[in-house]
Amino acid sequence: MLGLTDAVRSQVLVVDLDGTLIRSDLLIETAFSALGHNPRSILPILSAFGRGKAQLKQCIADEVKNFDPATLPYDPAVLTLIRDEKAAGRRVYLASASNERLVKAVADHLQLFDGWFGSSATENLSGSAKSRLLVERFGEQGFDYVGNDAVDLKVWPQASRAISIRAPGAVRRELDARHTSAVHLEHEKTGLKPWLKLLRIHQYAKNALVFLALGTSHSFNPQSALLCLLAFVAFSLCASAVYVLNDLVDIGSDRLHPSKKRRPLASGTVSLARAIMAIPILLVAGFGVALTVSPLFAGVVLGYLALTTAYSFSLKRKMMLDVVVLASLYTARVLGGAVAIQVPVSQWLIAFAMFIFTALALVKRYIEMTARLDASLPDASNRNYRNDDIDVVMAMAAAAGFNAVTVLALYINSDAVGPLYKRPELLWLVCPLLMYWIGRLLILAHRRMVDDDPIVFALRDPISRWVILSILIVAAVAI
C-alpha cells in the first residue's frame, strides 16, 4: 500500500485505464485489430476522423468484434494498489478516455470497481472533460487519481492525492512541482532489449539471402559485395518496419499464443505510440539505403513491402496462399540481391528457390500449429488452418523440400553447368547434403525441436552450419 492516511482512505480512488491500469492504448490496438480483421473498415474509420475524436473512438469500438479484456497486459502494481485500497474500504472507479463499451468490458472482467466512466459517441472523456466529470461526481479534492501521461496533468490538480506510473520525466517533474505529495508507483523498466526483440534483429539472418545471387554469379568483386551489403541493410530496415506493423495488427491473437504473448507489443513492454512512430523512420531509412543501391532495387524493395503489407492485413488468413506469399517473400530477397549487383537470375535458381522456400514456409506453419496443438489451444483465429491439418502440412513440406533436390539434380545434369564449373560432377555431392538437411529439419520439427523460423534455425543450428559450409566448399572446389 501507499501508506495513505485514514483521512485520505475515506475518499474515492480513481484509476485511469490506458497506460496506467494496462500497459497499452486501446484506441491504437483496437484500430489496428479492426483493420487487420477487416481492411475495409478503413472506410468508416476515415470518415469518422472528421467528426471528432469521440466519434472516431465510437466507430472503432463498433468495428472491433473480438475484444477480449482478459488478455490485456494489466500492470501488477496498479492492480495491487486497487485491491489494497478496496480491502481498506475505499470506493474505486475506472475513468478512461477510451470508448465506454471497452471500459465497461474491462470493469466487468476485473470486478474490482464500484463504477466506471468512458468516452461516449458525443464526448471524449479526456483531460479537462475528465477533470470536470470527476469534480462533479466527487467534489474538488474529493478523490485520488492514478494516471500516467501529460493529459492527466489536467486531472491531478483537482485530486487530493496524485499518483503516477510510467509517467515521462517531464510529466513527473511538472507533477512534483504542482503536487508536493505526489506518489510515483514503481514499475518494470524497459531498456533496449524489448526494442531489439520488436524489430526482430534475430530475423535479419533471413536477409542474407541477398548474397545468394552474388555467390551463384561467379563474379566476385568488392563493389558487388558492398552493394549486397547495402541491399541487406535496406531489406533489414524495411522488414523491421513490417514486423512492427504485423505485431500491431496481431496484438490480440498474439496474446492468446503460448510464446507470442511475450512479444513487446502484446506484453506492453514497448509503447504502441512509439512503435507506430518507428515505422516511418525505419521505412525512410530503408528506402534511403535502397536508393543508394539503385532505383530499380528500390522498386524491388517497394514490391516486397507491398506484398508483405498485404500479407499482414489479409493474405496470411488465406489457406495456402499465405504459404505461397511467404515463399515469394523469401525469393524476393534473392531477386533483390541479383538486381543490386545487376546480374541475370537463373531460371534454375528461381525454380529451386520456389520449392525450397515453399518447404520452409510450410515448416514454419507446421511449427506454429504444433505449438497450439501441444498447448491444447483451439484453431488459430488469424489463420485459415485447423489443428487437424497438421499431417497434411508436414507432407506438403516434405514434398516441396525434396522437389527442390530434384530441381538441383536436373540443373547439375543440364548444359547450363558446363560453362560455369570445371568439375561439375562434384556438385552431385550437394544433393545428399541437402537431402540430409531437409530430412533432419522435418524430423526435428516433428519432435518440437525447432521453435523459430526455419532459416533462422539453419543459421543458428551447428549441424546446419556445417552442412551449409560443406555445400559452399563443394561448390568452390567444383568451380
Tens digit of pLDDT for each residue in 282-311? 999 999 999 999 999 999 999 999 999 998
Task: Provide the pLDDT for residue 381.
Answer: 61
Is domain 6-184 annotated with CATH 3.40.50.1000?
yes
Mean pLDDT of the chain: 90
Task: Provide the pLDDT for residue 7.
Answer: 43
Check whether 152 has a pLDDT greater than 50.
yes
Higher pLDDT, 157 or 257: 157
Ranges 38-52, 186-200, 367-381: which has the least confidence:
367-381
Distance CA 183, CA 429 (A): 69
Q: How confident is the model at residue 5 (pLDDT cuts 50, 70, 90)?
A: very low
Task: Provide the pLDDT for residue 8.
Answer: 45
Check whether 230 has a pLDDT greater than 90.
yes
Contacts of the segment 254-258: beta carbons below 8 A, 24+ positions apart: 255/68, 255/71, 255/72, 255/73, 256/68, 256/71, 256/377, 256/381, 257/371, 257/372, 257/377, 258/371, 258/372, 258/375, 258/377
Question: Taking residues 4-29, what's their average pLDDT?
Answer: 81
pTM: 0.85
Check whether 4 has a pLDDT greater than 70.
no
Check whether 18 has a pLDDT greater than 90.
yes
Task: Provide the pLDDT for residue 229.
Answer: 95
Check whether 23 has a pLDDT greater than 90.
yes
- With both helix axes pointing from N to C terminus, report the angle between 272-293 and 222-249 in degrees, rounded to the nearest 10: 160
Check whether 6 has a pLDDT greater than 50.
no
Higher pLDDT, 98 or 50: 98
The tens digit of pLDDT for each residue in 326-353 reads 999 999 999 999 999 998 888 888 899 9
List 99's β-bridge partners, or say none.
119
Task: Provide the pLDDT for residue 313.
Answer: 83
List 116's β-bridge partners, or say none.
94
Among 460, 405, 234, 413, CA closest to 336: 234
Task: Provide the pLDDT for residue 3.
Answer: 41
Tell the residue number behind the cell numbers 491504437, with chain if given. Answer: 28
Record the cell numbers describing residue 18, joined without a space: 490506458
CATH 1.10.357.140 in the chain, residues?
194-478
Check whether 258 has a pLDDT greater than 90.
no
Amino acid identity of 29? E
Q: Are 305 and 311 a contacting pair, CB within 8 Å?
A: no
Check whether 394 has a pLDDT greater than 60.
yes
Coil, helix or strand at residue 22: strand
In degrees to the nearest 10, what's the CA dihedral of 15, 127, 105, 249?
-110
Greatest pairwise CA separation for the chain in angstroms: 91
| CATH number for the segment(s) 194-478 | 1.10.357.140
Question: Taking residues 142-160, what's their average pLDDT?
Answer: 94
CATH 3.40.50.1000 in the chain, residues?
6-184
Q: Are 62 and 82 a contacting pair, CB within 8 Å?
A: no
